[in-house]
Chain A
Amino acid sequence: MDKLIQLGSEIASLWQKSGLQYLRGAGDTILLAVIATLAGCVIGFACGILQTIPVRQRDNAFKKTVVGIVKAIVRVYVEVFRGTPMILQAVFVYFAIPFFSNNAVRLDVTTAAYLVVSINTGAYMAETVRGGILSIDKGQTEGAKAIGMTHFQTMLFVILPQTLRNILPQIGNNLIINIKDTSVMFIIGYTELFAVHKALVGGNYLYFPSAVITMGIYLILTLTCSLLLRLMERKMDGPANFDVATTDSLAHTSGMYSFVKKRGARS
């Protein structure tokens, strides 16, 4: 009990002194996570769409070649960024660009952090979107084609909206992973919540109280995001019931019908 009271008072005094710094760190974390997740979605949708372009036998050789090359590039991108740790990707991007450009081009820390998390998320989203598109019933495409929609229109109005709805939980997953995993950006000196914690305890040695505060903030951020995403899903699903437009009494009586001969047979 004593311990808890001690912890409580240490947390309170730490919060009083450095609360603003934690909040600023939390702000940087959530901003990076949200923007990089959105950018990742854009990249993911672009890649997912490119990977599902249908190639048919009667298409010309040029189209087949171009589509083939583009698909290969996307595959390499996905495999590389899914298959390596984000912490190393950060180091790579941050140091490789100055190295190859002889220091002519330098990324500032913030840009590098946003870039790396976006590209990394994009690689995961590309697979999610591809799977999402493939999981939509083939009949949806055929229904759209049958009323004269082009491939582009079919994607835009029919397939992608359904894909988006279906993968929304996955997008939420990525956002929550990003809120936590952006902490690795301390490696290139980006100061988000975890970096604030590290910096503070370096001076005051209050490891445990600070960890409690930091954990609490991370939890609040992720729980809030979960909640908002749930609301978004519900909004996209629309009301569970529909209003019957009762102004007309044209509801069909089913079951009874008798055929009347249409006209003389064709000669």
Chain B
Amino acid sequence: MSILDIRHLSKSFGKHQVLTDINFSVEKGDVTSIIGASGSGKSTLLRCINLLETPSGGEILYHGENILSMKKSEAAYRARVGMVFQSFNLFYNMNVLENCVIGQTRVLRKKRKEAVETAIRFLNQVGMTPFVKAKPAQLSGGQKQRVAIARAMAMSPEVLLFDEPTSALDPEMVGEVLAVMQKLAQDGMTMLVVTHEMAFARDVSNHVVFMHEGVIREEGDPKQLFAKPQTEEMRSFLSRFREQ
């Protein structure tokens, strides 16, 4: 059974229909890249999956169970499906270590000692252990994003959602974050990544979803998709990247 199964998902803000009949699934170990032009609904889709937005219709099955009808365990579901944001969203009132500890102690109810050990392990993985005592405001963008990834990983999520994790970064910091994400992918983490980094979509992910105006226009194996786009929209979308 798939970890996530999105069925006929739709979302509108007032009269503005942003997502229409979205269907796709996420298997264990999948690294799925969601690509598409600005405004095509990628963020909205990810936010619906994490219930930061309430879908207008359709189902989101998590291990076969529709999360939209089991309202009360929304928080518990979110603890299993982590999210990394474009704007990091680290807690400003805590240092790097506490950012990675608080969810474990308060949500997962782990002992502090164990939580600290786990936090250090993941901070180590993203190369941020020297900065455990720093406040988020004292870090560079790339460092913040690596901490945000460690914070999400410390919750031992089953799936990690990324919404353009490198878009807010200066070019020289994009690499350090992508390297961390690639390492996660190699370690078998299930990931769903909205990205404008075509190299990542093509070389790291094993599944690509191309969105256009709120619908999935193409999806499949990255190599084939990038080599032979089937639709005019995808061709013109990709051509914009080639020109650069």
Contact = CB atoms under 8 A, between A and B. Distances in A.
Interface string B53-66: 01000000000000
Interface size class of A (residues with CB under 8 A): 35 or more
A146 B206 contact: no
Contact of B54 (A57, A140, A161, A254): A57
Interface string B61-98: 00000000001000111111011010111111101000
B30 A148 contact: no
A266 interface: yes
Contact of A259 (B50, B129, B200): B200
Point out which of B54, B76, B124, B133 has the most chain A C-beta atoms below 10 A from its C-beta: B133
B103 A250 contact: no
B85 A257 contact: no
Interface in B135-150: 135, 138, 142, 146, 148
Given A146-B152, A147-B79, A254-B142, A261 B203 contact: yes
A100 interface: no
Interface in A119-144: 137, 139-140, 142-144
Given A157-B102, A158-B93, A252-B176, A245 B133 contact: yes
A250 B221 contact: no
Interface residues of B, number: 67
A165 B135 CA distance: 15
B48 to A, nearest CB: 13
B107 A264 contact: no
A262 B185 CA distance: 7
A161 B82 contact: no
Interface in A227-261: 238, 241-246, 248, 250-257, 259-261
B131 A158 contact: no
Given A139-B85, A147-B79, A254-B172, A259 B182 contact: yes
B186 to A, nearest CB: 6
Contacts of A147: 78-79, 82, 102-103, 107, 151-152, 155
B238 interface: no
A243 B207 CA distance: 42
A9 interface: no
Contacts of B151: 147
Nearest to B30: A266
B91 A140 contact: yes
B129 A146 contact: no
B126 interface: yes
Contacts of A245: 129-133
Contact of A254 (B107, B173, B199): B173
18 contacts: A58-B54, A139-B88, A143-B90, A147-B79, A148-B79, A148-B108, A158-B91, A158-B93, A242-B134, A245-B129, A248-B124, A250-B127, A251-B127, A257-B176, A259-B199, A260-B203, A265-B224, A266-B207
Interface of A: 56-58, 137, 139-140, 142-150, 153, 157-158, 161-162, 165, 238, 241-246, 248, 250-257, 259-266
Interface of B: 27, 30-31, 50, 52, 54, 71, 75-80, 82-83, 85, 87-93, 95, 102-103, 106-108, 124, 126-135, 138, 142, 146, 148, 151-152, 155, 172-173, 175-176, 178-179, 182, 185-186, 199-200, 203-207, 221-224
